[in-house]
Structure 1
């Protein structure tokens, strides 16, 4: 079974509540698709299938973009830790001149390809860990990436360097414990409906900040 076939077999087309304009191939429960992924890959202890859900940070970024397309129109955009590519798809729909999705999970890239095709846009793939790579983007969208301390320590210096080089780095945080509290400029706030299957409430308050150098 190909990655695309696996995704199609374990997801259904649905629309994120905050961004109903963008249909995606999504799962409804995390445990069954997580177990199915382990069986298909014949590997235990893998990371959760983040690509199978429209996480609140990505929904907030997508809403922020679609509400004012000029924020990315004509610019080069990176959807960092893209999951299923929701924020990047929003950027492409808003007129970004190019969009890359950065992911270390091959299934996430396959999901992004399917989701991009579903929405009639083109998303390029940045494979592997791009952290530390030279900046080639005007806007970096980072949705819900500070959920673990090691991850935050790994990415934040790089994001600040890109900001110092002139990129607009937008960090979406739904209240994760390890998100930075300083060196940020508030851009917007959203209340995102979420599933108790994934979160501990029915809504998440998401803040969007610009990362300062």
Structure 2
């Protein structure tokens, strides 16, 4: 009889620390992330796909673009939507953003972002909230609740600014690899278009996922990035950075 896997630690931070190791993404060597070496056991044990434990192709391309074009971020308030590991948020902070919010609905992602931000010596505010939730949208998990206590991450703390805690006050909205499922893609697009109408710059990274509405974006750059190696068969994936006009 096969022994059951050991129980997960009691807190999200402890789970992330126990199930991942520090690594440097091959395409973004400026950033350190905690990554997992396996996915399916972790998926089964946590009850959801651990998006926070890998550097996905769209996020790698977007992070590379952000680091290569720091003028896009410099001095601006930035939101990284569906942040996952926090890779793109960390890249934005390293590129000189005035403030960065990393939003996700998964407490494990929140813990991973906080740990990764600390490892990279940058300040990122973690917001555990479903920003896509609305009565007329098909995707939603929780009402807006504000940032979790203690999730302002990284040692570079300073005076609080409203844009550090209000995603609707941000000047740049970033989203990496979020168009893999139709209901979420539709809700993501609705959110991104609202952000664009209020004047935010909207930039996404995507490795040719099925539900990206390409006709609504302007292509900026294309990258050949490493696949995750666990959930994606390709060793190298083509990932494009798009801007919402």
TM-score, with length taken from structure 2: 0.80
Q: Alpha-carbon deviations, 1:32-72, whole Å to 9, x = none?
A: 322332xxxxxxxx320100001111111111111121110
Matched, 1:199 2:236: no
Matched, 1:113 2:114: yes
Q: By how many angstroms is 1:77 displaced? A: 0.4
Question: Could you tell me which residue of structure 2 aligns to residue 30 of structure 1?
Answer: 39
Question: Could you tell me which residue of structure 2 aligns to residue 98 of structure 1?
Answer: 99
Q: By how many angstroms is 1:142 displaced? A: 0.5
Q: By how many angstroms is 1:92 displaced? A: 0.6
Q: By how many angstroms is 1:211 displaced? A: 1.3
Matches within 5 A, 1:105-184: 105-131=106-132, 135-184=168-217
Q: By how many angstroms is 1:17 displaced? A: 1.0
Matched, 1:17 2:50: no
TM-score, with length taken from structure 1: 0.91
Question: Could you tell me which residue of structure 2 aligns to residue 42 of structure 1?
Answer: none
Q: By how many angstroms is 1:172 displaced? A: 1.1
Query: What secondary structure, in the 3-state scheme, does the structure 2 residue paired with 1:182 have?
Result: helix
Count of residues in Structure 1 that have an aligned counterpart in Structure 2: 204
Query: What secondary structure, in the 3-state scheme, does the structure 2 residue paired with 1:21 have?
Result: coil
CA distance in 1, matches of 2:120, 2:214: 35
Q: Alpha-carbon deviations, 1:15-42, whole Å to 9, x = none?
A: 11110111111102211322332xxxxx
Query: What secondary structure, in the 3-state scheme, does the structure 2 residue paired with 1:121 have?
Result: coil
CA distance in 2, matches of 1:68, 1:211: 17
Query: What secondary structure, in the 3-state scheme, does the structure 1 residue paired with 2:34 have?
Result: strand
Alignment RMSD: 1.4
CA distance in 2, matches of 1:129, 1:112: 16
Question: Could you tell me which residue of structure 1 aligns to residue 61 of structure 2?
Answer: 60
Query: What secondary structure, in the 3-state scheme, does the structure 2 residue paired with 1:20 have?
Result: coil
Query: What secondary structure, in the 3-state scheme, does the structure 2 residue paired with 1:135 have?
Result: helix
Flag structure 1 segments of 5+ consecutive residues without an equivalent: 38-45
CA distance in 2, matches of 1:155, 1:34: 23
Contact 2:56-2:228 within 8 A present in 1 as well: no
Question: Could you tell me which residue of structure 1 aligns to residue 49 of structure 2?
Answer: 48
Flag structure 2 segments of 5+ consecutive residues without an equivalent: 1-9, 135-143, 145-166
Matches within 5 A, 1:2-13: 2-13=11-22
